[in-house]
């Protein structure tokens, strides 16, 4: 029986419509899969193409071009959809080239040289190439769950492509085409092949989607079961209405001690899991209202009857059309212990803070967040009045800028300032601040020590000391004036006395007067020690200043101590002057004096050497004692006292006969490299 070609074309259009509808439902169900939308689009294009094919008698040239273009576009869309579904990249430039060549050739053999046979060959070859590209994509599939269906669909596309290659050859050789709907074996087989291919591809692609979906659902199920069973928290699944347990994980057994035999098929009430059963009712009520519950705090009972504090998170799920609850119980025993420890620690800390005699203020950007009772007492405010107050309002006006600078730079150096009380009075405070991070924000803790009485005492001592210093100065001045008069009369006596014995007496009297003068000067210098605050001083500059006071003549000085600063009493210049003056006075033949540096683990050693006669071994132990020496015996004693103000020591380690070697040891923290601040 001869099959009508138009009937086959109508069936193909219907099949394409059904195919588009089937793919559309797949698209609605599986929107996460790339490419399914292209299948819908391709099927619609093919359906429209078949309809236009049936209408070509009304406008042959236009509908022939549109119908064939839509059929090729539909095949390309199916190819793109399959490629993207398989997570591959389509051969975009190749497809574009094939489509452009097809359009040019088809247009030419429609408008320029109207030849249905050539057009049939062009269409067949183009469709075959697209089928082969689709076959390659399917054979390149890397998704294991759809391997079989992908290979089956690849076989269909390959057979389809081979058939259209055969058709192209047959049209040229044994079965030329007169019109599209002229009945012939080749035309009939072509339409039947397209019909069968469409049905097989539709079924195959739907099977492939479902295989992938089932595989992913199985993977998700296995992953969920793995997570469920490997979670360290206790997890259980129970029926919503009666609480019967249908599943538990290993974490549940580890935490509660209940085994699967103890729990499966029994309710949580049967095993007395809830310390307070009312808590489950609260969770169920929340689940019925919202469908989930998060971090509900409840107490549970283990198998051994011990208590288990926990946080419960739950969600309603449907298993076999029955509402169930999947619950996760997190054991917070350690957290509870930590919280209790923290509360105890905070309580002890608060007691310690309140018991201290120092005022403590915690502020952020100057705004007070917390403080102790002593701070309230110091400023005369209540605790509530202090909270939220700006610390700058608690300082006397002349110290506001200083405190601002300390806060801006984050300085942790201690300083003194006057606090402003609520009643307008002020007090002196020794203040120290340091920075801490709280909740990701920078806070500043300031401690205050009321030093008002100390400042008063210091002021009284300062005034007393000033008076004593003035008295001593006046007394020394008067004694020195009398001493000058005595020495003048001794000089006049030498002019009138010729007796050698009496001249010897006068010489002794002059020496005694000189000693008295030197001792008065020593008393002046000794009184000055410590009256000025120690400061950082450039070592080479101190030595240079001391050197200017000496009569060096031919003596050479080498100073290799540049770049180092030491923290010392301002009188330290006398130390360097004394050791050099002693070299000139007692060294006999000193031609060189040298200063060098040596750094040890803990100290910086300033070494002074000369090339004189040195110091006798028996004199070394007495060298720094008051009164020992060939002159006044006060210089080295005074030097040792000056250095000791900041913990610096001095010793003599030279070898007798080879010159002196004084080692001045500056401890760590009392020296730094100039400009380094360390």
The string of pLDDT tens digits covering residues 262-315 is 888 888 888 888 888 888 888 888 888 888 888 888 888 888 888 888 888 888
Give the three-state DSSP class for 366: coil
pLDDT of residue 362: 84
Cβ(593)–Cβ(544) below 8 Å: no
**Residues 6+ positions from 338 with CB-CB distance below 8 Å:** none
Is residue 138 within 8 A of residue 151, CB to CB? The reply is: yes
Please state which of the ranges 312-326, 472-486, 646-660 shows the lowest mean pLDDT: 472-486
Residue 356 is encoded by which pair of tokens?
Answer: 């201290």
The residues, any chain, with a CB within 8 Å of residue 88's CB and separated by 6 or more, are 137, 140
Q: Which of 197, 199, 177 is nearest to 186 (CA)?
A: 177
Q: Work out the pLDDT band at 595, boundaries 50, 70, 90.
A: very high
Q: Give the chain's largest Cα–Cα span.
A: 176
Summarize the confidence of residues 575-579 as an average pLDDT. Answer: 86
Query: Is 637 a residue whose pLDDT tops 70?
Result: yes
CATH of 231-336, picked from 3.40.50.300, 3.10.105.10, 3.20.20.150, 3.30.450.20, is 3.30.450.20
Write the CA distances from 561 to 109, 350, 565, 672, integer angstroms: 102, 52, 9, 12
Whether the CB-CB separation of 447 and 359 falls below 8 Å is answered with yes
Count, in order, helices (H) and strands (E) of the chain.
Answer: 19, 18
Indicate the pLDDT class of residue 228, thresholds 50, 70 and 90.
Answer: low
Q: Is 328 left (phi over 0), alpha (psi -120 to 50) or beta?
A: beta
The pLDDT of residue 554 is above 80: yes
CA distance 332 to 401: 50
Q: Measured between alpha carbons, how far is 112 from 119 in angstroms, rounded to an integer?
A: 12
Better pLDDT: 397 or 571: 397
pLDDT (average), residues 324-350: 74
Mean residue pLDDT across the chain: 81
Chain-centroid distance of CA 475 in Å reads: 68
CA–CA distances in Å: residue 569 to residues 299, 642, 645? 69, 6, 7
Cα Rg for the chain, rounded, in angstroms? 53
Name the nearest CA neighbour of 484 among 508, 527, 526, 520.
Answer: 520
Partnered with residue 235 across adjacent β-strands are: 328
Topology alike, domains 356-450 and 535-673 = no
Sheet holding 649-652, edge to edge: 556-559, 592-599, 603-610, 661-667, 649-652
CB contact at 8 A, 19 and 44: no
pLDDT single digits (tens) 453-472: 887 776 666 665 555 555 55
Supply the CATH classification number for the domain 356-450: 3.30.450.20
Residue 645, C-beta contacts closer than 8 angstroms, at least 6 positions apart: 529, 530, 534, 568, 569
Return the higher-pLDDT residue of 291 and 536: 536
**649-652 and 603-610 beta bridge pairing:** unpaired
Helix 60-85, helix 116-139: angle, nearest 10: 10
Using one digit for the tens of pLDDT, what is the confidence trace for 148-183?
888 888 998 999 889 888 888 887 777 776 666 666
Closest by CA position to 236, among listed 214, 221, 258: 258
Say if strands 322-331 and 426-438 run parallel, antiparallel, or are unpaired: unpaired
pTM score, whole prediction: 0.44
Which class is 535-673 in CATH? alpha beta
- Separation between Cα atoms, residue 476 and residue 494, nearest integer Å: 27
pLDDT of residue 677: 54
d(CA 635, CA 640): 9
Using DSSP bridges, classify how beta strands 592-599 and 556-559 pair: parallel, antiparallel or unpaired. Answer: parallel
Q: Is residue 678 scored above 70 in pLDDT?
A: no
Q: 371 - beta bridge partners?
A: 361
Counting every residue written for the chain, the total comes to: 678
Per-residue pLDDT band for 1 (boundaries 50, 70, 90) equals very low
pLDDT score, position 608: 93
**How does pLDDT run across 231-263, given as a tens digit for each residue?**
778 888 888 888 888 888 888 888 888 888 888
Query: In degrees, to the nearest 5, what angle opens at C-alpha 178 toward C-alphas 172 and 180?
Result: 105
394 DSSP 8-state letter: G
Tokens at residue 253, please?
């057994």
> How far apart, in whole angstroms, are the C-alpha atoms of residue 369 and residue 364?
7
Average pLDDT score over residue span 331-356: 68
Q: How many Å from the N-terminal Cα to the C-terminal Cα in the chain?
A: 109
DSSP symbol at 367: E
Look-up: residue for tokens 């210091």? 458
Higher pLDDT, 357 or 633: 357
Among the listed ranges 367-376, 408-417, 519-528, which one has the minimum average pLDDT value? 519-528
pLDDT value at position 665? Answer: 93
Element (H, E) at 188: helix 185-230
What DSSP state is assigned to residue 4? P
Contact 622, 554 (CB under 8 A): no
Per-residue pLDDT band at 538 (split at 50, 70, 90): very high
Predicted local confidence at residue 180, as pLDDT: 63
* pLDDT tops 70 at residue 515: no
Q: In what order do the strands lie in the sheet with 234-239?
A: 245-248, 234-239, 322-331, 307-319, 292-301
Residue 499's pLDDT band, with cuts at 50, 70 and 90, is confident
Q: What is the pLDDT of residue 220?
A: 61
Report pLDDT for 226: 61
Other C-beta atoms lying within 10 Å of the C-beta of residue 186: 16
Eight-state DSSP code of residue 395: B
> Could you state, in order of their start, the residue ranges of all structural domains in the chain?
5-218, 231-336, 356-450, 455-528, 535-673
Per-residue pLDDT tens over the stretch 200-222: 888 888 888 888 888 777 766 66
User: Which residues, 6 or more positions from 620, have their beta carbon under 8 angstroms from its beta carbon?
Assistant: 652
pLDDT surpassing 90 at residue 609: yes
* 3-state SS class at 359: strand
Query: At 466, phi and psi to the nearest 5?
Result: -60, -40
Distance, in Å, from the CA atom of 315 to the CA atom of 327, rounded to the nearest integer, reads: 7
Residue 636 has pLDDT above 50, yes or no: yes
CB environment 557-570: b (16+ within 10 A), e (fewer): eebebeebbbbbbb
**What is the predicted pLDDT for the residue at 664?**
92
Whether the pLDDT of residue 91 is over 70: the answer is: yes
Span 124-135, pLDDT tens digits = 899 889 999 989
């Amino acid at each position: 029986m001869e099959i009508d070609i138009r009937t086959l074309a109508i069936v193909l259009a219907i099949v394409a419509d059904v195919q588009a509808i089937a793919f559309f439902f797949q698209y609605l169900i599986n929107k996460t899969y790339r490419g399914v939308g292209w299948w819908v689009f391709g099927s619609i294009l093919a359906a429209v193409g078949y309809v236009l094919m049936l209408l070509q008698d009304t406008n042959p040239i236009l509908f022939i071009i549109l119908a064939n273009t839509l059929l090729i576009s539909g095949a390309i869309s199916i190819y793109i959809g399959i490629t993207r579904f398989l997570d591959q990249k389509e051969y975009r430039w190749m497809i574009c080239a094939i489509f452009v060549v097809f359009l040019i050739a088809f247009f030419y053999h429609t408008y320029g040289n109207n030849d249905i046979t050539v057009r049939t060959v062009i269409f067949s070859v183009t469709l075959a190439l697209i089928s082969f590209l689709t076959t390659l994509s399917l054979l390149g599939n890397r998704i294991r769950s759809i391997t079989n269906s992908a290979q089956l669909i690849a076989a269909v596309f390959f057979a389809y492509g081979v058939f259209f290659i055969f058709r192209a050859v047959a049209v040229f050789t044994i079965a030329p085409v007169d019109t599209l709907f002229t009945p012939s074996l080749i035309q009939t087989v072509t339409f039947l092949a397209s019909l069968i291919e469409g049905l097989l591809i539709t079924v195959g692609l739907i099977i492939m989607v479902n295989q992938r979906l089932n595989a992913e659902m199985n993977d998700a199920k296995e992953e969920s079961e793995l997570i469920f069973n490997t979670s360290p928290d206790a997890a259980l699944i129970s029926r919503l209405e009666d609480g019967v347990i249908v599943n538990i994980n290993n974490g549940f057994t580890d935490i509660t001690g209940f085994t699967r035999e103890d729990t499966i098929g029994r309710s949580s009430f049967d095993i007395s899991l809830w310390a307070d059963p009312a808590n489950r009712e609260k969770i169920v009520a929340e689940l019925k209202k919202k469908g989930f519950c998060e971090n509900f705090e409840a107490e549970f009972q283990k198998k051994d009857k011990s208590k288990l504090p926990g946080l419960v998170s739950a969600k309603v799920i449907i298993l076999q059309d029955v509402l169930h609850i999947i619950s996760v119980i997190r054991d917070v025993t350690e957290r509870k212990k930590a919280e209790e420890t923290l509360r105890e620690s905070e309580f002890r800390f608060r007691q310690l803070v309140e018991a201290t005699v120092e005022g403590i203020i915690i502020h952020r950007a100057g705004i007070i967040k917390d403080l102790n009772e002593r701070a309230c007492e110091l400023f005369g405010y209540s605790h509530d009045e202090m909270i939220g107050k700006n610390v700058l309002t608690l300082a006397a006006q002349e110290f506001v800028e200083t405190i601002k600078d300390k806060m801006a730079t984050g300085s942790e150096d201690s300083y003194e300032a006057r606090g402003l009380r609520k009643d307008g009075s002020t007090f002196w405070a020794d203040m120290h601040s340091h920075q801490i991070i709280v909740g990701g924000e920078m806070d500043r803790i300031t401690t205050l020590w009321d030093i008002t009485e100390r400042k008063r005492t210091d002021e009284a001592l300062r005034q007393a000391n000033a008076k004593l210093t003035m008295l001593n100065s006046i007394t020394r001045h008067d004694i020195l004036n009398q001493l000058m008069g005595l020495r003048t009369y001794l000089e006049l006596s030498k002019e009138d006395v010729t007796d050698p014995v009496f001249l010897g007496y006068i010489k002794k009297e002059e020496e005694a007067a000189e000693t008295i003068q030197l001792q008065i000067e020593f008393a002046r210098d000794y009184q000055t020690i410590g009256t000025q605050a120690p400061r950082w001083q450039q070592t080479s500059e101190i030595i240079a200043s001391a050197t200017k006071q000496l009569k060096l003549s031919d003596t050479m000085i080498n100073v290799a101590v540049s770049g180092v600063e030491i923290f010392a009493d301002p009188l330290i210049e006398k130390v360097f002057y004394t050791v050099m003056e002693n070299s000139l006075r007692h060294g006999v033949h000193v031609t060189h004096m040298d200063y060098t540096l040596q750094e040890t683990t803990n100290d910086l050693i300033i070494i002074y050497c000369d090339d004189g006669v040195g110091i006798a071994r028996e004199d070394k132990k007495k060298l720094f004692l008051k009164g020992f020496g060939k002159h006044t015996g006060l210089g080295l004693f005074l030097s040792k006292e000056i250095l000791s103000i900041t913990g610096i020591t001095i010793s003599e380690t030279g070898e007798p006969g080879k010159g002196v070697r004084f080692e001045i040891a500056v401890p760590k923290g009392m020296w730094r490299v100039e400009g380094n601040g360390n």
